[in-house]
Chains A and B, each alone.
Chain A
């Protein structure tokens, strides 16, 4: 089994999987605890406009998607803070406008758009080395930002009003966090693709929440969970010859469900909460 590790594409895939797991483990925790999954989904889908632009301009779509997703993050963030438009409306509009722009750009590009599916649904087995360098730079930026702004990010996530009253630059910090989410999405495009990004942002982080009450430990656990699931999915997809992005997502979902199932089985007999007790008493009376 280990002989496949000799192949460069496999080595690249493993490094890419690790990079994606680090980024989505750390940032995914903020996405989950701040309950901004839908915002992240909006940024991810709007980024498709950047992919289309890359095809149109004949450049690496990963580089054209960079300004596009950062811009989407800022537009969503500013629209939510400075206008009266409902948050989900803003997300809905940006989500579809970004995708429409992508389709338009691809339509304007002469000829066939190769590898389009790769950007939408990921293919970890074909990650070029240049993209790995970009992922590495983004990972370092994410780790450094979260290390330096840990207490500030915690404050705006837990209680934004109190952070404001304490004199923190809440708007700038929130926008910066959205930009980090946008960067995380770019790291994950090659691994699971734009459409499937949300699963990688949410599943490892919410699974880690089951094991700890501390934000920093959640991040570490989420990185570990992400890495394990990504590697299992990667090898499954290689040996079974099935699409890698989808396999990784389904592996994660299976792991998550397995955990929730076992938790239900173990915890229920021990922990009888008042509600259940009252209900059962009521049934006996009836």
Chain B
């Protein structure tokens, strides 16, 4: 608390443990993340990436430990956190167009019973322009490609004007050219917001993010863009060559 004024972390996680029934999902997780950093979290399936994001969002209460978002508890920080969930395309048959989906991002800023105001519409328009989807605003969400839809859900998160943006496997199901565009958009965003992205995509992580962490119940993080080979081997439970095949020098220090 002593240096709260001049040096505040965007995310502070101290000794967090979380169990799913009796199985540990997170063990002794510690993380200090500075503002305006783009952190990539990699790790095997079932390694707890989604759980960690949900702990940061306050959707899951950790069994032990403490989480602070800009010095606040997760539930109190919800207004400054944007979230792009995994498989957010699961309700394609819902009668809603692009504009109304992004408008939903404003709901945390508008009190109960109130209608959206002109400023809300302005922010929604800007968010859609940022992801280059404004011209699709009247389309039904089922009429978009997977990549376009993902950008709409990012616009929804941006519309809440977050200081911290959480992305859960954002490129799953998006083709490679779209992925590149998508990462370039995130690179632009990180100039003014903090981003945490959980992903399988090790090669993208190596190119676009500032910091890398590896999660398999335990979080391996050294505040840098490189991971130690032995950490990765422990997390994935197999030799590094198999994990980082093709791009070892970007994620890993030359060894």
Residues of chain A at the chain B interface (Cβ within 8 Å):
33, 148-149, 151-152, 154-155, 157-159, 161-169, 209, 212-215, 218
- Interface positions, chain B 79-99, Cβ under 8 Å from A, are 79, 81, 83, 85, 88, 91, 94-97
Q: Are A162 and B85 in contact (CB under 8 A)?
A: yes
Q: Please tell me the size bucket of the interface on B.
A: 20 to 34
Contacts of B57 in A (CB 8 A): 165
Known contacts A159-B91, A167-B79: A151-B97 contact under CB 8 Å? no
CA A168 – CA B110 in complex, angstroms? 10
Closest Cβ–Cβ distance, residue A116 to chain B (whole Å): 39
What secondary structure prevails in chain A residues at the interface with B?
A: helix
Q: Are A161 and B104 in contact (CB under 8 A)?
A: no
CA A169 – CA B108 in complex, angstroms? 11
Name the CB-closest residue of A to B140.
A213
Q: Are A152 and B101 in contact (CB under 8 A)?
A: no
Cross-chain contact of B107 among A166, A212, A215 (Cβ < 8 A): A166
Closest Cβ–Cβ distance, residue B21 to chain A (whole Å): 10
Q: Is B100 an interface residue (CB 8 A)?
A: yes
Could you show 26 A-B contacts with beta carbons less than 8 Å apart?
A: A33-B94, A148-B113, A151-B115, A151-B116, A154-B96, A154-B100, A155-B107, A157-B94, A158-B94, A158-B104, A159-B91, A159-B104, A161-B59, A162-B88, A162-B104, A165-B78, A165-B81, A166-B78, A166-B104, A166-B105, A166-B160, A167-B79, A168-B108, A169-B112, A214-B96, A215-B95
Contacts of B95 in A (CB 8 A): 33, 209, 212-215, 218
Contacts of B115 in A (CB 8 A): 151
Name the CB-closest residue of B to A218.
B95
Contacts of B88 in A (CB 8 A): 159, 162
CA A165 – CA B83 in complex, angstroms? 8
CA A151 – CA B94 in complex, angstroms? 14
Q: Are A163 and B94 in contact (CB under 8 A)?
A: no
Q: Is B190 an interface residue (CB 8 A)?
A: no
CA A29 – CA B27 in complex, angstroms? 44
Known contacts A159-B88, A162-B156: A167-B94 contact under CB 8 Å? no
Contacts of A151 in B (CB 8 A): 103-104, 107, 110, 115-116
Closest Cβ–Cβ distance, residue B239 to chain A (whole Å): 37
